[in-house]
A and B are shown apart, each in its own frame.
Chain A
Amino acid sequence: NAGVTQTPKFRVLKTGQSMTLLCAQDMNHEYMYWYRQDPGMGLRLIHYSVGEGTTAKGEVPDGYNVSRLKKQNFLLGLESAAPSQTSVYFCASTTARGRGGTGELFFGEGSRLTVL
């Protein structure tokens, strides 16, 4: 069972470079999320999507863009990476209560991004 898969797992960037993190889920979930985790800050929501073709800003959206062209995929882009974006990024997904969801989010394994 693949669940939620994030690629890449590790990446080192130079300031100003761009990159895309891919999140793929095989559970037919409607809701998908991107979080970043920094020491002492917990997990903070960057962007999320409540369905294919929809996206919304979370708590810390600046410097990131997202797209959800297919239901199973949620892409997080950094157009011009900055050292402040050095973090561990988590993707997660879930389904609605009305579709049998139990409320919990299912997480990927995380992607460690370092911006030099």
Chain B
Amino acid sequence: AQTVTQSQPEMSVQEAETVTLSCTYDTSESDYYLFWYKQPPSRQMILVIRQEAYKQQNATENRFSVNFQKAAKSFSLKISDSQLGDAAMYFCAYRFPTGANSKLTFGKGITLSVRP
């Protein structure tokens, strides 16, 4: 079974600084998706960034980028120029692309606080 591990329950960053959130996963598959979702206090689940395992290039979305290390099964999220609105819970997630096993498996999440 696939597992996703986020070992840090909480992190804090100064506004305008950079922070990296860690995630590791376990799978025997070669084709899969990885995601970071953001959950603000409104509890809405918001997709931050997506990575397809067959793509070697790390995904980037504005201030958000990932460091995808497939062999090490590591998928960290870097947030640059942190803003107060980045304060939220962040979940790393894995998904097998198709078929009956196509379900999203989440890590336990990390609470990010941003200091003004």
Contact = CB atoms under 8 A, between A and B. Distances in A.
A91 B9 CA distance: 24
Interface string B73-116: 00000000000000000010001011110111111110000000
Interface in B19-74: 33, 35, 43-45, 47, 50, 52
Secondary structure type dominating chain B contacts: loop
A22 interface: no
B33 A103 contact: yes
Contacts of B35: 103-104
Contacts of A109: 43-44
Contact of B45 (A56, A102, A107): A107
A92 B104 contact: yes
Chain B CB within 10 Å, residue with most, of A56, A92, A104: A104
Interface residues of B, number: 23
Interface in A17-58: 31, 33, 35, 40-45, 48, 50, 56, 58
Of A35, A43, A107, most B-chain CB atoms within 10 Å = A43
Contacts of B91: 42-43
B97 A42 contact: no
Nearest to A96: B98
A41 B43 contact: no
Contacts of B33: 103-104
A97 B44 contact: no
Interface of B: 9, 33, 35, 43-45, 47, 50, 52, 91, 95, 97-100, 102-109
8 contacts: A33-B104, A40-B9, A50-B102, A97-B98, A98-B98, A103-B95, A109-B43, A109-B44
